[in-house]
Chains A and B, each alone.
Chain A
Amino acid sequence: MNPFRAVKEVFAPEETPIAPRSGVIGGLITLVALAMSFLAVIAFESGVVADRVAGQWAGELAQSATVRISADPDEIDSLGKAALSALQIAPGVASARLLSESELQELLAPWLGQQADVGALPLPALIDVTIEGTGPDVEDVQRQLDLVAPGAVYDDHGEWRAPLIDAAKGLRRLTIIGVALSIIVLGAMVGVAAVATLWSGEGVVRTLRLIGADDRFISSAFERQFALRAAIGGIFGSAIGILAMSRMPQITSSELLTAGANFGQGPTWWLVIATPIVCAFAALLATKAASYFVLRNAN
């Protein structure tokens, strides 16, 4: 069906529709579709953004590892260099770099301030490891480190990554549930409206039957009206939802915690097209089911 013709058929039909205008019920369907598609877009967008951020965190952490060396201050430099040498030849390690005092100071700045003298603190030495492929065998690397730098601990960030991956999965599930619930609620509302309209339009159904209309024809007369109203609600609801999301504050910082948290970085604008189609389809199915129920039971 041509969407422009379909919309025109609702507002300025060439032929009078077979089903009488659904009036208040039709308006309510549009309103419910608008609200549900707005909520679906918000849920979907929030899920996409949260999933993207969690994925990015997990991805970044997966590509790096940290070696922490705790030792007496007079031994720490030599142990650090020994550990660095061992790491640089380990398979699965792309590069390894000993963090300087100023980098350590920067890491601790949020807690101790920029002016803190970290040199006076008994801090461990840290080696930033960039891994390649699936990374080194953790147990193997740890054994090598134990030999050359006792007290060195290889941390592949697995402890940090696991909850982030779980969070991403959870958000994905919640997004799917949120969108599915919106569609189900819309379908249920349209179904109830269709049943009410068919029962109240019992005379129309009887007349159509009498002059040779089958159940499919009668059902389609109502389906089209409801589906188009749901689609129109979907267009406005999704447009408002996307507009609302696009007006959220944009985060320009590239820091780890906020990177990727902006709206519009993923394939989200197609929602303006997809949401009305989904709304119309849900309405179509709901009306079909309602019609089947009513027409079967009304002789």
Chain B
Amino acid sequence: MHFLTGPSGAGKSTLMRLLYLTLRPSTGTVRVFGRDSELINRREAAEVRQRMGVVLQDCDLLDHMTVLENIALPLRIAGQKTNSLMQDLRELAAWVGLGHRLDAKPPELSSGERQRAAIARSVVNSPEVVIADEPTGNVDAAAAERIMQLFVELNKLGKTVLIATHDMNLMRAAAGRKAYVLRIDKGRIERSGAPL
């Protein structure tokens, strides 16, 4: 489990975007899954993103779809039929605490519920790494704690989790886990790989 910390404007989101390839470096080199991001074309970038789960601060759920359909979306993109996976999807939704809101649409959900749906969506196709950029930025303290617990559980299940946050208190949720901190400020790394 890795935490990317630093004050607002430090460059955390920029670094995250470089990782999930919606931004290309103007200088230097970014290697994603062992490949230079400059050499990854648009189609390959999509394939790379299928290997990672991304959770952003503003959730990015599709408002015209239900919670269950939003969670299943990466499977549809990967060309899988979701009908036969309904039980698994329901269990995943229940794991993030949304078992009772499967047919609700995002605008009907609270911020915390939306974020939990986004987390479920990010792991539905078993990504190799989960990247979360300020995942608790829009939720209250109780919801933030619950969301962090979900990331810790994911890490316990063997997923690599990278979370960008400026809230040091959230990192306490990972106490007892093998976690590292990368601190940046003004685009520069201040501390790298320090244990939590």
Contacts and interface: CB of A to CB of B under 8 A. Distances in A.
Interface in B35-79: 42-43, 45-47, 49-50, 54, 56, 60-66, 69, 73-74, 76-78
B62 A210 contact: no
A252 interface: no
A25 to B, nearest CB: 15
Contacts of B151: none
Interface of A: 15-16, 18, 20-21, 203-204, 206-217, 299
B126 interface: no
Contact of B77 (A204, A212, A215, A299): A212
Contact of B121 (A15, A211, A299): A211
B46 A209 contact: yes
17 contacts: A15-B76, A16-B66, A18-B62, A20-B64, A21-B64, A204-B62, A209-B46, A210-B54, A211-B50, A211-B121, A212-B77, A212-B125, A214-B43, A214-B45, A214-B46, A215-B42, A217-B77
Given A210-B20, A210-B60, A212-B49, A16 B65 contact: yes
Contacts of B192: none
Contacts of A16: 64-66, 69
A207 B46 contact: no
A216 B41 CA distance: 13
Given A16-B65, A16-B69, A206-B60, A211 B77 contact: yes
A15 B121 CA distance: 17
Contact of B82 (A15, A203, A208, A211): A15
Interface centre among B20, B45, B73 (most CB of A within 10 A): B73
Given A15-B76, A16-B66, A21-B64, A212 B56 contact: no
A212 B60 CA distance: 13
A213 B69 contact: no
B8 interface: no
A215 B46 CA distance: 9
Contacts, number: 61
A278 B73 CA distance: 32
A115 B122 CA distance: 96
Nearest to A216: B43
Given A210-B60, A211-B77, 17 more contacts: A15-B76, A15-B82, A16-B69, A20-B62, A21-B64, A207-B62, A208-B73, A209-B22, A210-B22, A210-B49, A211-B54, A211-B74, A211-B121, A212-B49, A212-B77, A214-B45, A215-B46
Interface in B107-135: 121-122, 125
Nearest to A295: B42
Nearest to A214: B46
A210 B48 CA distance: 10
Nearest to B78: A212
Given A16-B64, A206-B60, A212 B69 contact: no
Contacts of B76: 15, 18
Contacts of A212: 46-47, 49-50, 74, 77-78, 125
B60 A207 contact: yes
Contacts of A211: 49-50, 54, 73-74, 77, 121-122
B163 to A, nearest CB: 16
Contacts of B60: 203, 206-207, 210
B77 A213 contact: yes
Nearest to B122: A211
Interface string B10-25: 0000000000101000
Contacts of B20: 210
Nearest to A299: B22
B77 A208 contact: yes
Contacts of A206: 60
Nearest to B74: A211
Contacts of B74: 211-212
A16 B105 CA distance: 12
B13 to A, nearest CB: 13
A241 B62 CA distance: 40
B43 to A, nearest CB: 5
A208 B78 CA distance: 12
